[in-house]
Amino acid sequence: MGCSFPVLIVIIIIVLAVGVVSLLSGALGKAIVGDVGLPDIFTVDAPHVQLPAEEIGHIGPITITNTLIASWITIVVLVALAWAVTHRIKLIPSRLQSLLEFAIEWLLNLCTDVAGEKYGRRFFPIITTIFLFVIMNSWLSLVPGFGSITYTVAEHGEEHVMPLLRGANTDINFTLALSIVSFIFVCYFGIRYSRLLFFKQFFNGGRFIRGHGLLFRGKVKAGFGSIGFGIIDMFVGFLELISFFIRLVSFAFRLFGNMLGGEILILMMLFLMPYLLAVPFYGLELLVGAIQALIFGGLTLVFVTMAVTLHEHEEAH
């Protein structure tokens, strides 16, 4: 393992000691052996799950929540990280510069592989922003002590202790706002490059109208056939329109559900057996945060690519 035998023994003893303290101080150990009187510093309170984000205050009509503050911190961290890397770019990059260059190059290749060279570079900035914003929101909420910073608010004569920070991805308002940004992005480029074809996929009544024209000219069989297929086209377009707007809901609730579920899982593990039992789940949530960021950005990339290439599919038919 790269260390001497005495050092290995010390590490094993430390791990066992942490494991014993974790077991005895958690709800799981107390249910087995009872309360052994450990100091409160080793115990974790039972988790309190609240779906709406807690309000911190107001700036005029704007409500400031703990998730909004967390998203501001994410922006500051991303800007600081970008500045730290780019203000002194070196020909022989440092480790931080190499890591960021690798991530940026990987995202650029993803965009060009999916959307092609023509569109990939144009979509790259917004897709990268979405990916980095979602993943940093997820990872920052896993920093030890992130949710432990609290403040006290007086309400109806009673004092309530609330967390000052909470992961932005666990707020349905935030995930819905991000979904709306993705939706507008897809609509903008779809209308810009596909023009009327973007709307034709939802409102396709061409064959229905042509069928009436055929009936007017006396072509009864062809006319009723076109009308029948035209009704099917309009029904399919209606379904496409519904599915297009359902993306908003699916995007928002997929990210919200996974991130909130992961946070609740970690809180439960900390309550059952503090410190040691929660460590594997922290690693799992790091992976889940990266996957959710990739899914959100990747699906946005796929949908916008489909929207801008409608004219190419039309020409192929």
- Sorting pLDDT into bands at 50, 70 and 90, what band is 127? very high
- Rounded to two decimals, the pTM is 0.81
Q: Which residue has better confidence, 294 or 50?
A: 294
- Sorting pLDDT into bands at 50, 70 and 90, what band is 259? confident
Q: Is the pLDDT of residue 67 over 80?
A: yes
43 by Cβ neighbours in 10 Å (0-12 / 13-18 / 19+) ranks as: middle
Sign, CA dihedral 90-95-100-105, equals positive
E strand intervals along 203-261 = none
**How large is the average pLDDT for residues 26-34?**
70
**How large is the average pLDDT for residues 245-255?**
88
Q: What is the pLDDT of residue 157?
A: 62
Q: Is the pLDDT of residue 75 over 90?
A: yes
**How large is the average pLDDT for residues 25-39?**
69
Beta pairing class for 150-155 and 62-65: unpaired
